[in-house]
Amino acid sequence: MDATSQRFLMCRPTYFAVDYAINPWMDPTAPVDAALAIRQWEQLRRTYLDLGHTVELIDPVPGLPDMVFAANGGTVIGDRAMAVQFRDPQRADEAPAYRAWFEAAGFEVYDPKHVNEGEGDVLLVGDHLLAGTGFRTAHASHAQLQEVFGYPVVTLQLVDPRFYHLDTALTVLDERTVAYLPEAFSPGSRAVLRRLYPDAVRASLADAEVLGLNAVGDGRHVVLPAQATGLAAQLRDRGYQTIGVDLSELRKAGGGPKCCTLRLRQGKASQ
């Protein structure tokens, strides 16, 4: 399998903390080692650089502890970026910060009309955009995504609050294949996934519970939480090279490698 070199946007967790709870992973009374969070994030960044990927950085903003989760900063395909609108007021001010970065980087920016948490809920697989709803991104925003990017959007209904963003329940392995946790989706959405990806990797609940599906693939390598050992073995059986990273501190906010990583994709947004 060929690896495609990627361009990512990341945000150093300088101000990371778990000060509020907007998903079931977050417990503001539990201790977080902020210095360790930064070291673990640096290791993730180093992993990408060692794989030959490019990592762009956005400046962290004081008072926005979840800004490290760059996947929620937007959806980017080609020269178009759709900005975000968060469900929760605690994260609202991240949206203009990411929007300003897209503008400065030269993207054509589209403003969301409904709640839309970016690549946390919007994943491109080949020529389909998979879009999650149920907890964060509003179903109404899926129609706007289709208009902005000109890719058919497939709505997927998330049903388990622990897997509140699509990227906690499904990972893109390459243009044709995904790995996912079937139980995280409604019966109809499971049927859609079986139809679209008959060869998909079905993850176990144990691996999903360490956010194993919050992984970043480049077509050949998959960077995933080190604790997801069963999923790593399944992926190696399929010929992928797996690279485990430990993001234990960021997981206390409900985030893993993919949450920290926004893809700045090349290619055509529309034709």
Based on the shown chain and the rule CB under 6 A, indicate whether residue 180 belongs to the binding site for ligand ARG.
Answer: no
Touching ligand ARG, residues 114-143 (CB under 6 A):
120
User: Which of these ranges, 164-172, 199-207, 220-228, 240-248, lies near ligand ARG under the rule CB under 6 A?
Assistant: 164-172
Which single residue brings its beta carbon nearest to ligand ARG? Answer: 120
The structure tokens listed for 36 are: 């360790």
Based on the shown chain and the rule CB under 6 A, indicate whether residue 144 belongs to the binding site for ligand ARG.
Answer: no
Whole-number Å distance between alpha carbons of 99 and 82:
8
Map residues 52-71 to x or -, x wherever contact with ligand ARG holds by CB under 6 A: --------------x--x-x
- Amino acid letter for position 99: R
Least distance (Å) between residue 118 CB and ligand ARG: 8
Q: Which residues pair with 262 in a beta bridge?
A: 9
Compare residues 66 and 218 and give the one whose CB is closer to ligand ARG. Answer: 66
Q: Do 256 and 37 touch, CB atoms closer than 8 A?
A: no
Based on the shown chain and the rule CB under 6 A, indicate whether residue 23 belongs to the binding site for ligand ARG.
Answer: yes
Pick from 117, 127, 131, 133: which is nearest to 150 by CA? 127
Q: Do 167 and 71 touch, CB atoms closer than 8 A?
A: yes
Compare residues 165 and 221 and give the one whose CB is closer to ligand ARG. Answer: 165
HSE (side-chain half, CA atoms, 13 Å) at 214? 35
User: Which of these ranges, 19-27, 46-54, 56-64, 123-131, lies near ligand ARG under the rule CB under 6 A?
Assistant: 19-27
Q: Which residues pair with 128 in a beta bridge?
A: 125
Whole-number Å distance between alpha carbons of 225 and 248:
9
Residue located via tokens 């994709």: 265
The residue count for binding ligand ARG (CB under 6 A) is 16
The structure tokens listed for 85 are: 């609108």
In 126-229, which ranges are E strands?
A: 128-133, 153-157, 170-172, 178-180, 201-202, 216-217, 221-225
Residue located via tokens 């030269």: 106
Based on the shown chain and the rule CB under 6 A, indicate whether residue 177 belongs to the binding site for ligand ARG.
Answer: no
Q: Which of 67, 184, 253, 262 binds ligand ARG (CB under 6 A)?
A: 253
Q: Which of 178, 255, 262, 264 binds ligand ARG (CB under 6 A)?
A: 255
Based on the shown chain and the rule CB under 6 A, indicate whether residue 207 belongs to the binding site for ligand ARG.
Answer: no
Compare residues 205 and 233 and give the one whose CB is closer to ligand ARG. Answer: 205
Whether 259 is catalytic is yes
Residue located via tokens 């495609």: 4
Based on the shown chain and the rule CB under 6 A, indicate whether residue 165 belongs to the binding site for ligand ARG.
Answer: yes
Based on the shown chain and the rule CB under 6 A, indicate whether residue 213 belongs to the binding site for ligand ARG.
Answer: no
Whether 11 is catalytic is no
Q: How many CB atoms lie within 10 A of CB 176?
A: 12
Based on the shown chain and the rule CB under 6 A, indicate whether residue 94 belongs to the binding site for ligand ARG.
Answer: no
For residue 197, the SS3 value is: coil
User: Which of these ranges, 22-30, 142-150, 197-205, 222-230, lies near ligand ARG under the rule CB under 6 A?
Assistant: 22-30
Give contact residues for ligand ARG (rule: CB under 6 A): 22-23, 26, 66, 69, 71-72, 91, 120, 165, 167-168, 253-255, 259
Catalytically active residues are: 165, 259
